[in-house]
Amino acid sequence: MLSDDSTFNPPLHVGRPNVGDREAFLRLAAEMFDRRWLSNDGPLVQEFESRLAGLLGAKHVIAVTNGTLGLELVIDGLGLTGEVIVPAFTFVATAHALEVRGLRPVFADIDPETHNLDVASVRSLITPETSAILAVHLWGRPAALTELQQLADDTGVKLIYDAAHAFGVTTSGRRIGTFGAAEVFSFHATKFFNTFEGGAVSTNDDELAARLRLSRNFGFAGEDRVVSLGTNAKMTEICAAMGLVNLDDLDTFVDINRKNLERYRQELAGTASIRLHDVAPTGTKGNYQYVVAMVEDGRRDEVLAALRKHNVLARRYFWPGVHRMEPYATRWPKAGEALPQTEAIADRVLVLPTGSSVNAEAITRVAAIITDVLGRRD
C-alpha cells in the first residue's frame, strides 16, 4: 500500500512548460519595450524566423500565432479543396483547421506500431475529390515519410505535415520541417519548446512562403495595398523573445526528456500490463516530449484515476479520437467502424508527466503508484 506522502503537492502535470534563461528573456523584453515595437514582423520575430530556418535547414520559416492558424494558412495557401485525408488519432485542431476552411476531413486509420497514418488506409481513401494528405508526426515520431511522399506523387495529391509534436526531431540526418509541401509546428506552452502561444510554418516553396507571409497579415503587401484575402496570424515580439531564449536551451530540454523517458522505462520495466511507446525508432533523434504509456487489459482508466488521486495529472491524449468529437461524431456516427486501430490505441494510451519540472525522484513515485494498481509481471 502507498503512504499518504506519495501524493504530489503541488500536483504533477502533463504539459508543464519548460522555461529557459529568465534573465535573458527579461533583457529581450526590456529592449522590446525601449523600441516600442510589439508586433507586426518586428526584429525579434525576424531573428527567430531566421534562427529557425538555419536550425531546420528549411528555405523559409514563417512564425505564426499558433499551430492551428499555421495549418489554416497552409491549407489556404496551397488552394486545397474537397477532401483531405487525416488521422483521427490526433489533437482535434488537425481536423478543425480543415473544417473551418470549408474542407472535408476524411479519417484514415493508424498503424498500431507507430500511432501514425497507415499508408494502406490512406491509399484506400483517395478519391477524385482528394486534394491532400495531412499527416501528423504523432508524439514526435516521424510519419511514414517516404511511403506517403510516394503515394502523393503517384496520385497527384499534396502532402503536408502537422509537425506540432515534432520540433527538434531529426530522422536519417534530416530535420522534420523539411518534408512535404510544408510542415507546421506548434510552440504552445505545453510543448517542450514554447513561445507561450505560437507556431511556425516551414517550406522550401518560394511562392507558398510569399503567400503565407501575405495571408498572416490580412493580405497586406504595403502600407495600404491589400492583394489577397488574409487573417491575423502574426507572432508577437514577446512570443519571439521567449522562442529565442528557449532555443538556447533546446538541447538541454531534449536531454531532460530523454533521461526522464529512460527513468520511466527502468521504473516500469517490471510492472504488469504496461509498456512505453517508442517515440524515436532507430535512425531518429527524437525530442521525447511525450511519455506515452500503453496500458493493456482495459485498465487504463483505473491507472488514470489512481494517479489523479495522488495529484498526478496524466492525460488520455487523444482519446476518444477526433471522429468521436463534434462536429464529426454527429455527421459520421459510424466512422469508428472503419478505424479499428485508432479506437484500440485510443483506449490504451496514457501520457505521463515529463519535462524540466519532473525529476527522477518524482518518476520513481509515479511508477510506484502505477505498479500499486497493475502489480508486477510474473
Q: Does 110 bind ligand T4K (CB under 6 A)?
A: no
Q: Which of 154, 201, 157, 168 is nearest to 284 (CA)?
A: 168
Query: Under rule CB under 6 A, which residues in 67-86 are in contact with ligand T4K?
Result: 67-68
Q: How far is the CB of 189 from ligand T4K (least distance, A)?
A: 4
Binding residue for ligand T4K, selected from 17, 20, 142, 243, defined by CB under 6 A: 17
Q: How far is the CB of 56 from ligand T4K (least distance, A)?
A: 17
Query: Which span (7-15, 106-114, 145-153, 272-280) binds ligand T4K, by CB under 6 A?
Result: 7-15
Q: What distance, in Å, lies between the first and last C-alpha atoms of the chain?
A: 19
CA 47 to chain CA mean position, Å = 23
Binding residue for ligand T4K, selected from 18, 94, 215, 260, defined by CB under 6 A: 94
Place of cell 508526426: 137
Question: Considering beta carbons, is residue 35 or 309 the nearer one to ligand T4K?
Answer: 309
Q: Does 162 bind ligand T4K (CB under 6 A)?
A: yes
Q: Does 13 bind ligand T4K (CB under 6 A)?
A: yes
Q: Does 310 bind ligand T4K (CB under 6 A)?
A: no
Q: Does 136 bind ligand T4K (CB under 6 A)?
A: yes
Query: Under rule CB under 6 A, which residues in 339-378 are in contact with ligand T4K?
Result: none
Binding residue for ligand T4K, selected from 190, 231, 311, 356, defined by CB under 6 A: 190
d(CA 1, CA 372): 7
Three-point CA angle 166, 171, 172, nearest 5°: 170
Q: Does 186 bind ligand T4K (CB under 6 A)?
A: yes
Helices (H), 129-271: 145-155, 206-215, 237-248, 250-268
Which of 97-103's residues contact partners 24+ apart within 8 Å by CB, and which partners? 97/68, 97/71, 97/72, 98/71, 98/134, 99/327, 100/72, 101/72, 101/75, 101/76, 103/75, 103/131
Q: Residue type at 327?
A: P
Query: Under rule CB under 6 A, which residues in 315-334 are in contact with ligand T4K?
Result: 317
Question: Considering beta carbons, is residue 80 or 273 the nearer one to ligand T4K?
Answer: 80
Q: Does 199 bind ligand T4K (CB under 6 A)?
A: yes
User: Which residues of the chain form contacts with ligand T4K (CB under 6 A)?
Assistant: 13-17, 66-68, 90-91, 93-94, 136, 162, 164-165, 186, 188-190, 199, 313, 317
